[in-house]
Amino acid sequence: MNLNNKVILITGASTGIGKAMAKLLAKENCSLALIARRGELLDELTGQIKTENPNIKSYVCDVAKPGEVKKVFTEVREHFKKIDIAILNAGVGSKSSAEDYKYENAKNTFDVNVLGIVNCVENLLPDFIKCKDGMIVGVSSLADSRGWQGSGFYCASKAAATILLENLRAELKPFNIKVITVKPGFVETPMTANNKFPMPFLMSAEKAARIIIGGIKKEKRIIQFPLPTVLGSKLMRVVPDSLFEYISIKN
Ligand SMILES: NC(=O)c1ccc[n+]([C@@H]2O[C@H](COP(=O)([O-])OP(=O)(O)OC[C@H]3O[C@@H](n4cnc5c(N)ncnc54)[C@H](OP(=O)(O)O)[C@@H]3O)[C@@H](O)[C@H]2O)c1
């Protein structure tokens, strides 16, 4: 995939991996539509990178709200005339435990991490299908492999996101629409800043962004990293439940 003259939309661009991807993509000859709820952070970022690339615009939008997504995606198309690649990266981390097991916490996690993707895809597909072109990059997680202690809602939401994207990849192949699933291990961002448990092979958001953009250029189906965590998560899928329960990390 050559990124020249492409219009790339990134959700969750105000901090962390999304912000790091925006900074790297600003160096390419492409246009960027940056989306998040905190407009002041988007403005600050846009101010920093606009000197390198003037074709950047930010949009305040909550991906969990269908009306806002519809309005903003329409505005992006009006301004840039098209969307070529949508990087659906917005996500929330959530702690969940038996002592604090709350429907509202689960709902918020699923509203953003799962239905946020569905909201965006609904607004992308009519044009993508009409043009028989387009790319959807969905950010899931290597946490999708098992229900780790303390992160049940998050792991379940990422498992759902992975399956949604897998389904879309097959469903959209006849329309020449590419779907990429991104599964990072631990990345240093505001989401992980307060984690008290060990985070093996923690990497910087900039490194994660470089790996993701490299994978997009290669049009990989699955972009997963770092390798030791990928291998660990594959192993975790096949260990017996009794062993998993023993080694599951308590947040
Ligand atoms: N960090 C890790 O170790 C790790 C590992 C695997 C996967 N991931 C995934 O990577 C993605 C990025 O996470 P991150 O680590 O970079 O965390 P982060 O720094 O907390 O970034 C999350 C981004 O999502 C945005 N966001 C959250 N809720 C939103 C909503 N309702 N509507 C629109 N935007 C929303 C946030 O912006 P606003 O608050 O301004 O809206 C922010 O820009 C997430 O999907 C996360 O699950 C992260």
Q: Domains in the chain, start-ordered, CATH in brackets?
A: 7-247 (3.40.50.720)
Residue 159 Cα distances to 59, 114, 145, 237, angstroms: 28, 9, 7, 12
Instruction: Give the residue carrying structure tokens 């709902």.
Output: 107
Whether the bond between 226 and the residue before it is cis, its omega within 30 degrees of 0, is yes
Instruction: Determine the pLDDT at residue 197.
Output: 87
pTM of the full predicted structure?
0.97
User: Over 90: is that where the pLDDT of 249 sits?
Assistant: no
Q: What is the rounded average pLDDT of the residues 123-138?
A: 98
User: Which residues touch 247 (CB under 8 Å, ≥6 apart)?
Assistant: 239
Nearest to 120 by CA among 60, 179, 68, 82: 68
Query: How far is Cα 241 from Cα 96, in angstroms, rounded to an integer?
Result: 20
Instruction: Determine the pLDDT at residue 91.
Output: 98
Q: What is the mean pLDDT of the chain?
A: 96
Q: Ligand 1 — pocket residues by CB below 6 A?
A: 11-18, 36-38, 41, 62-64, 89-92, 112, 139, 141, 184, 186-187, 189-192
User: Over 60: is that where the pLDDT of 90 sits?
Assistant: yes
User: Over 80: is that where the pLDDT of 94 sits?
Assistant: yes
Q: Is 154 part of the annotated catalytic residue set?
A: yes
Tell me the three state secondary structure of residue 212: helix
User: Over 60: is that where the pLDDT of 250 sits?
Assistant: no
Higher pLDDT, 248 or 29: 29
Centre of ligand 1 from the C-alpha of residue 130, in Å = 30
Instruction: Determine the pLDDT at residue 251.
Output: 43
Q: Report the 10 Å Cβ neighbour count for 39.
A: 14
Q: What is the rounded average pLDDT of the residues 9-36?
A: 98
For residue 29, the 8-state DSSP code is S
Query: How far is Cα 228 from Cα 169, in angstroms, rounded to an integer?
Result: 26
Instruction: Determine the pLDDT at residue 40.
Output: 98
User: Which residues touch 74 (CB under 8 Å, ≥6 apart)?
Assistant: none
Tokens in use for 169? 């990849």
Buried b (16+ CB within 10 A) or exposed e, 151-190: bbbbbbbbbbbbebbbebbeebeeeebbbbbbbbbbbbbe
Cβ–Cβ under 8 Å, residues 50 and 56: yes
Centre of ligand 1 from the C-alpha of residue 237, in Å = 25
**Which entry of 101, 103, 154, 246 is annotated as an active-site residue?**
154
Instruction: Determine the pLDDT at residue 196.
Output: 87
**pLDDT for 145-190, tens place per residue?**
999 999 999 999 999 999 999 999 999 999 999 999 999 999 999 9
User: Over 90: is that where the pLDDT of 222 sits?
Assistant: yes
Cβ–Cβ under 8 Å, residues 33 and 80: yes
Instruction: Determine the pLDDT at residue 246.
Output: 87
